Structure 1
Amino acid sequence: MKFKRFFAQTFYSSLIGLGLMALTPRTSLAQREVLYEQYIQNPMAINPAFTGIREDFNMTVLLRRRWFTIQNSPVTQTFAMDGAIANGKIGLGLQALNDRLSPYYTTGVYGSGAYHWNASVSWRVSLGLQGGINVLPLYDFASGISTNGVLGSFGAGVYVRYAEQFYVGISKPELLSQNFGSGRQSLFEYRQPLFVTAGATFDSGEKMQITPSVLIVQEKGIPLRVDVGARAWYDEKLGLGTFYRMGSVNYVQLSGEAQLGRNARLGYIFNSRAIESSIVGINNNPLTIHEIMLKFIPSPTKFHLN
């Protein structure tokens, strides 16, 4: 009961605080492509049905930057938290993005909920919904003035898991198409990608776990994207990952994570190119992106790969 009260209080207080943050006027150029790219460390970014899957209350912070040697250089901050109530049947989650690094310059906050149904001893089906706001610059052709616009966001997803050894998911985190008003236009499209994911977990020896996965992204007018790769955990203490992402931007992602005691995890993620390089062009050096991840679980009941 104490944990449920703690989770509920944290969830609602964070929702209010982050909602106010997102409503503060900021320059913004698109939706949450940057958030989508962090789906390995935060699966809830692309599929709201993942909300509360782990049951333990999780908080994840990701800091994304291009330069380490330049002081006060722009940093993109991502925050995600989720947990479960009602004996694990209901998941509640919250995400916030403040992108100051890429030309997208997105600000947004999104709440999610999921229902988890044990179809059998081994099969579990999760249905999730997500809603929130995106802050976008809207250009008024009549006045020639660009102003921020707060636009709604709504998405849904399905996640099916077999005995914690195999999973498949399908999701569309953005279902809404927006009318920006007469004479107004967003500087970038309001995108609506479809995500299909699948993965498995294999034990290789007594202490090694390997989790290969694949992601397929379909979106109108954009080449089909396919991500393939795997992560490996040794003794539930050290994790390494390699992924190759093929689409409008082809790049390699390498990651390393270390479990710091039972409650905390520290990670580093290297991207050979930034997803937004398709917009800024090849001359915007450096093209690489570095990310630092911190995950905190107040009262873990078991080890989680994600």
Structure 2
Amino acid sequence: MRTINYRYYLVFLFVLTLLTGEINAQQEPMFTQYMFNTLSINPAIAGTKKSINANSLSRFQWVGMEGSPKTFSVGLHSPVNNRKIGVGLTILSDKIGPVTNTHISLNYAYRLIITEDLTLSMGIKGGISSYYAGLSHLDVIDNEDPQFIDNEKKLSPNLGFGFYLYHERFYVGFAVPKLLETSIDEEYAESFTDLKRHYYIHAGYTMQLSSEWVFKPSLLTKAVSGSPTSNDITLQFLYNNKIWIGGMYRLGDAAGLFVDVAINRQLMLGYGYDFSLNSMMGANSGSHELMIIYEFDIRRKSIPLF
């Protein structure tokens, strides 16, 4: 008995995301603690921390569902020369069922000092993206089915750009992390196998409530052709420059909480949890995130607010 063509299996995955209103949004990984991982979407962030910054985020989405998304992100960036230039490296792996997308990018940013307190950073990124479908590892009825004997692999180049305007009290950025649109399967070009171009806007503001408490609301908007705009609204509170407590609401889709702790001036650890508010509610036990940030320059006063 023949099993279905693997393309229909991929269609199933995309229909699943369509039912949750995320058919194109899920092409790009989502993070509850996105404000600590903005280099992955905006190359203009490179070097803005004034130290060597390393960060890692692991996300386990829709826990309890077979083949649910698992995302791992690593970033490293630093200023160079006169600190007007920043460079960075990002590695991101996103696995959904038998399909794994891996992106490796080099980031370059140049900062223009507008005023003593206001800076505009302009960044570009270039790299390579890898698509892999482990079809031979699927549990199928007919192990001899030629559609499942060979795994699918594809490499494609990637370019991106971004802008980041920041001040001690606020920031706003715009980015297109993957400028080149890619069709995974040429036979189904211009269909569900197309990886679409995404547009991001992110912004935040810092308000000093007292000598111990800081409040920072932030927003992440993601737009892609053929899909509703995704908006993440986050409210964060920082206590004594050491403990972050925050909540996130993704309009019509999910809500979550996170806690981040600055162990010392160099190390920050974080955990986030979010749950579905759409048709996926009840079908899984939520999504979990683990975060690590390490600052190599101990001369900084504290881990930065942005």
TM-score by length of 2: 0.76
1:127-138 aligned at under 5 Å gives the runs 127-137=122-132
Q: List runs of 5+ in structure 1 lacking aligned partners.
A: 1-26
Most deviating of 75-84 and 178-187: 178-187
Q: 1:170 to 1:116 in 2, by over 3 A?
A: same
Match among 173, 178, 181 for residue 182 of structure 2: 178
2:264 is the alignment partner of 1:255: no
Aligned partner of residue 44 in structure 2, secondary structure: helix
Q: Which residue of 2 aligns with 1:16?
A: none
2:289 is the alignment partner of 1:291: yes
Deviation at 1:98, TM superposition (A): 2.4
Q: Is the 8 A contact 1:270 1:291 kept in 2?
A: yes
Q: 1:74 to 1:305 in 2, by over 3 A?
A: same
1:37-186 aligned at under 5 Å gives the runs 39-65=34-60, 76-100=71-95, 105-137=100-132, 147-162=152-167, 164-178=168-182, 183=187, 185=189
Match among 250, 268, 271 for residue 268 of structure 1: 271
2:197 is the alignment partner of 1:192: yes
Q: Which residue of 2 aligns with 1:14?
A: none
Letter in 2 for 1:295: I
Letter in 2 for 1:175: L
Q: List runs of 5+ in structure 2 lacking aligned partners.
A: 1-9, 15-23, 134-145
Instruction: Name segments (4+ residues, structure 1) moved above 4 Å.
Output: 29-32, 35-38, 66-69, 101-104, 143-146, 179-182, 184-187
Q: Which residue of 1 aligns with 2:18?
A: none
Letter in 1 for 2:154: G
Aligned partner of residue 89 in structure 2, secondary structure: strand
Aligned partner of residue 100 in structure 2, secondary structure: coil
Deviation at 1:242, TM superposition (A): 0.8
Deviation at 1:112, TM superposition (A): 0.8
Q: Is the 8 A contact 2:124 2:162 kept in 1?
A: yes
Letter in 1 for 2:286: T
Deviation at 1:64, TM superposition (A): 2.1
Q: 1:123 to 1:283 in 2, by over 3 A?
A: closer
Letter in 2 for 1:190: L
CA distance in 1, matches of 2:36, 2:176: 18
Deviation at 1:87, TM superposition (A): 2.3
Could you give the per-residue CA deviations for residues 233-275 of structure 1, whole angstroms, max 9, x where no partner exists?
111111111111126xx1012110111112111110112139x
Match among 180, 202, 227 for residue 207 of structure 2: 202
Q: 1:261 to 1:58 in 2, by over 3 A?
A: same
CA distance in 1, matches of 2:276, 2:57: 17
Aligned partner of residue 115 in structure 2, secondary structure: coil
Larger radius of gyration: 2
Letter in 2 for 1:302: K
Letter in 2 for 1:165: R
Could you give the per-residue CA deviations for residues 60-97 of structure 1, whole angstroms, max 9, x where no partner exists?
1122225999xxx9954221111111221111111112
Q: Which residue of 1 aligns with 2:301?
A: 302
Aligned partner of residue 44 in structure 1, secondary structure: helix
- Tell me the C-alpha RMSD between the 2 structures: 3.2
Deviation at 1:37, TM superposition (A): 6.1
Letter in 2 for 1:149: K
TM-score by length of 1: 0.76
Most deviating of 192-201 and 179-188: 179-188
Q: 1:161 to 1:184 in 2, by over 3 A?
A: same
Q: Is the 8 A contact 2:185 2:193 kept in 1?
A: no
Letter in 2 for 1:120: T
Match among 225, 231, 234 for residue 226 of structure 1: 231
Q: Is the 8 A contact 1:132 1:152 kept in 2?
A: yes
Q: Is the 8 A contact 2:63 2:285 kept in 1?
A: no
Deviation at 1:178, TM superposition (A): 3.0
CA distance in 2, matches of 1:179, 1:78: 23
Could you give the per-residue CA deviations for residues 24-66 of structure 1, whole angstroms, max 9, x where no partner exists?
xxx9x99861266652220112211111111111111122225
Letter in 2 for 1:207: E
